Structure 1
C-alpha cells in the first residue's frame, strides 16, 4: 500500500484566500496538528451543487490531488489545520473535556456565499480523541453526507458536506468496516460546549474572548442593541435561543429526529450539526427513539423541544459570568419559550395550506396529529397526499391511510372549509412546496450504503440529487417515495452510526 507522507502539500488550489480566523483565538482554544494519512484513498462523491455555491471546481475536488487533500493526506496551501477543545453534557450528564476527537478544521475560505469553514471528519486521532481512533467509517460518513444535504434541501439550517473520500483501511466498530472522511462546511463549527469548557474551568478571560469573537462575527447586532441594558452577552443568549427554537420547530414539522442532542452537538449558530443516529419518522410515533444507544429515551422525537431548552439553559449558565445577572440570563432564555411554539404552529399551519391564522387552527393541527399518532400513519406520505388532495381534488388516497376513517372524515369536514378560505388551488400548490415527497428514510440510506460497500456509489449520487430537490415529483423515482419495507423497522442506528 502507498501512503502519502504527512509533510506532503496538496497540488489542489481552492482558488479562494484562506482566513483562518478561529486560529487567531490562540492555543487555549485548539491544538495545531495535521491529519493522519489513510492508505490508498479514493473518491466516493463530490457535492457538485455545493461546490458551485462555494465557487469551487468540483472536477478538481474529485481529481487525485483533490482526493488526497480531502482525505487529509496532503495539506492544502493556505490552510492551518487544528482540532478545537470543548466540553459538554452528554445524555444529561457532565462529561468534562471533549473536543474534536476525529475532526480537523482546515480553516476558512472566502466564497460567494460568504466565509465558510472546511473541516475533515474522520481524519485521525487528535489530543481530544480520548479512547477513540479518530476515524469515521463509510456507513456513518455516507449518512452524514446525505443527511446534511437532506435538511438543506428542506430549508432547515444545517452544516453541509462537500465530499466523501474512502480507504480500505479497516476500522472496528460493532464490526470491522472501512474508513471514510467527510469534508464538512459551515460558517462556524462552534458549539455550546465551547463556552461550557471555559466556564467550567473558570477561565473567564478566554470565555469572554470566545463570546466577543462569536458576537463580532455572527451576532454584531448584539453590540448595538439597547435591550438588556446594553448587555451584549444577554442579547447574544437571546438570539441563540431564538435561532435554536426556529431550527427545532423545523425539525418537528418535518419529522426529523436528531438522536443525540448533547450540548457539544448544539451549534451556536442554530445549525443542525453532528449527524449520528438521526432519522426521519416513518410512522408518526411521537415517542419514537431513533438512537439505539439512548436507552432512557432522553432524545425521543417529542422530547427534542424540551431538550433544546435544557441545553440552552446550560449555555446560559456558561455565559452567566459574562452576563453578570441571573435574572437577565433567564429573561434571555425566555425567548425560546415564545419563539418555539409560534414557529411550530406557523409551520404546521403552512403544512395545512393555511395562509393566515384563525381561531380554531390550533385545534385542527392538534387533532390531525392525534389521529396520525393513533393510527401510526406514515408522516411524510400523509402530508404529501393531503397536499395533492387539496391541489388536485378527491383525497381517497389520503383517507386510506387511516384505520379510523370516520374520525378522519370528521376532521376533514372541519378542514376543507377552512382551507377553502385560503383559496384551495393556491393552498394546494403552497403545500406541495412545503410538504416533501422525498426524505432520507433509513432504508434508503441503508440501500445506498450497501451498494457503496461493494464499490458502487450510484445510489449515493442518486439520493443526493433527490434530496437536493425533495419537493419535486421525480417520476422516475416513485419507489423512493413509497412506504418503507418491513425490514426497515429493524435497522438499528447508534452513536457509532
Structure 2
C-alpha cells in the first residue's frame, strides 16, 4: 500500500493557490494529540513530530503548504475577498484506501487575511477539536483534528488570549466558495477542472458519468449532513457558502452549539443578530447555499439538470431525517411514526425539556415506569394522550422489548458536547491543565454507551452554562 503526499491542488490550480510556509511558534506545547486518528490515517509521525508539524515548526519535506483562494456568500451577501486568511493546506495525504487534506489553522497571515493577524486562539482551537470528535462519534460527516498546540504569543480578540494552532483533517478543503470564485471571475476552465479534481480525489465512481451527477451527489451529501444536524441538535452558527464543504462534511466550526433545552428557534451565534442561521433554518439555508453553487456551476452544467437536482434536496433531507428520528423513538418511518415524533418534540418544547437527555430518560421510563419522567413533562396536558398513542404503536411494531431498548440506546447519545463542558475544559487548559480536555474527548468518543465515572458529563448545564455567549470569534 502506497502512502505519500501528492499535492494535486497546487499542481492543478496554481492561480487559486499562494504558496508560503507557516509562521510557526518559537516555543510550542502539545495541548492534545489525536494519536488514534494519526494511526487510522497511517501517518508516520511520532508524538514529537506531530507536535512540531501542528506548531508550524518542522514540516514533512514532502508537504507543499499553500493558502487557497475562494469567495462566498456571508450572511447572504457575496464577498469576493475571501480565502485562507489564517490557515494553510500543508499537503494532500494519499493512501491506498483514500486521501485526506492536512490543514494548519492559525498559521499566520496570508494575502487573504484582509488585515487580520492570521492567528487562532486556544479557546476556538479546543472547541473545533472537540466538535470534530463529538460529531464523528455521532455518525455525522465532519472534519476532525489531529492536534492542538499552544504557542508563545498573545492573540487579541475581544480580549487578549493564548495563541494556538489546530492541525485539521478533511477529505478535501474544497468549498462551495471555490466554485463561486471561478464563476464570478469567468474561469469556466477552472470550474470544470475543480469538478474533475473532486471526482478524481473523492468520488472516482463518477468519473465517466455526466457532470450533472456531480452536483446531484453534492446535493444528496449536503442534505444528509444537515438532516443529521437536525436529528442530534447541532447548530452550526455560520452557514456561509465559504463554510460549506463540497463533499458534505461539517466544516469550519465557529460559534456552534448542541441544543441543551429543545428550542427550534435557538440561535447559537451571538453575532447572528437576525437569526439567519438559527437551528430551525439550517435545512432551508442549506438549499439556499446549494442554489448559489448551482449558479456557479451553470456555465458547465445545464440549468434544467441543476434545477432537477435542487428539487431532490428536500425529499432526501426529510427522508433521512425521519428515518433517524423515528428510529430514536424505536419506531419505523411511517405516517404514524412521524406524527408521534412531531408531538414528542412539541412536548419537549412546551415543557422546556433537555433535547437529547429526554430520549434517554424515555428509554429509562420504558424500562422501569413512565413515572420516572420529569414532572413538568408529565403534567403537560397532551402528555398522557401522546404516551398512550406511542405505547400502542410500539406494541404493534416491536415484539422484543429488551432488543427495542438496546436499539434505542444505540442511537440516542447519553453524552453530548455541551458548551459548558467545552468551556470547563478550555478554562483548565488555559491554566495549563489538559486532563479535563483529554477526559472530555475520551467520553465524547463513546456517546451511546454508559461509561464508568462519567456521571458529570450527563448533567444538564448549570445556569451560567445556559447563558454562554458564543460569537464568530469562537
| Structural mapping, 1:234-383, within 5 Å | 234-323=212-301, 325-354=302-331, 356-383=332-359
Q: Whole-Å Cα distance in 2 between the matches of residues 388 and 53 of structure 1?
A: 35
Map 1:69-468 → 2, pairs under 5 A: 69-111=53-95, 114-225=98-209, 232-323=210-301, 325-354=302-331, 356-390=332-366, 392-400=367-375, 402=377, 404-420=379-395, 421-423=397-399, 424-468=401-445
Which stretch of the first structure deviates more once superposed, 109-118 or 203-212?
109-118
Verify the 8 A CA contact 1:245 1:340 in the aligned structure 2: yes
- For this pair of structures, how many residues does the alignment match? 471
Q: Give yes or no for contact 1:286–1:302 (8 Å, CA) kept in 2.
A: yes
Q: 1:102 to 1:31 in 2, by over 3 A?
A: same
Instruction: Measure the CA separation in 2 of the matches of 1:201 and 1:85.
Output: 12
Q: CA deviation at 1:334?
A: 1.2
Provide the residue aligned with 1:474 in structure 2: 451
Return 5+ residue gaps in structure 1 as ranges. 1-14, 226-231
Counterpart CA distance in 2 for 1:368 and 1:147 is 27
CA shift in 2, pair 1:113/1:491, >3 Å: farther
Unaligned runs of 5+ in 2: none
SS at match of 1:183: strand
Contact 1:97 1:197 in 2 (8 A): no
Say whether the 8 Å CA contact 1:387–1:435 is kept in structure 2: no
Q: 2:38 aligns with which of 51, 55, 58?
A: 51
TM-score (norm 1): 0.92
Partners of 2:364 and 2:372 within 8 A in 1: no
Task: Give the distance between the partners of 2:36 and 2:456, measured in 1 at CA.
Answer: 24
* Cα displacement (A) at 1:208: 1.3
Range that drifts further, 15-24 or 342-351: 15-24
Q: Secondary structure at the residue paired with 1:120?
A: strand
Equivalent pair of 1:385/1:395 in contact (CA under 8 Å): no
Question: CA 1:413–1:403 in 2, change beyond 3 Å: closer, same or farther?
Answer: closer
1:402 is paired with a residue whose SS is: helix
Give the deviation of 1:20 after TM superposition: 1.1
Contact 1:157 1:272 in 2 (8 A): yes
Distance 1:126 1:57, change over 3 A: same
Check whether the contact 1:55–1:112 (CA below 8 A) recurs between aligned residues: no
Deviation of the 1:406 alpha carbon: 4.0
Supply the distance in 2 between the matched residues of 1:288 and 1:235 (Cα, whole angstroms). Answer: 35
User: What secondary structure sits across from 2:388 in the alignment?
Assistant: helix
Q: Is the 8 A contact 2:414 2:450 kept in 1?
A: yes
Query: Partners of 2:304 and 2:78 in 1: how far apart?
Result: 24
**1:491 is paired with a residue of what secondary structure?**
coil
Deviation per CA, 1:308-348: give whole Å up to 9, x if none.
Answer: 0000000000000001x322211011121210111111111
Moved more, 288-297 or 410-419: 410-419
- SS in structure 1 opposite 2:464? helix
Q: Does the CA contact (< 8 Å) of 1:120 and 1:182 recur in 2?
A: yes
Deviation at 1:364, TM superposition (A): 0.7
> What's the counterpart of residue 471 of structure 2?
494
What's the CA shift for 1:222? 3.3
- Cα distance in 1 for partners of 2:376, 2:89 equals 47
Deviates more, 1:373-382 or 1:437-446: 373-382
Question: Partner of 1:168: helix, strand, or coil?
Answer: strand
Q: TM-score, normalised by structure 2?
A: 0.96
- Deviation, 1:400, is 3.1
Alpha-carbon distance, 1:285 to partner: 0.5
Match of 1:25 in 2: 12
Q: Contact (CA 8 Å) 1:387, 1:429: kept in 2 or not?
A: no
Mapped contact 2:351–2:380 kept (Cα < 8 A): no
1:9-54: CA deviations, max 9, x gaps?
Answer: xxxxxx9421212122131121111001223111111012212211
CA contact (8 A) 2:5 2:63 kept: yes
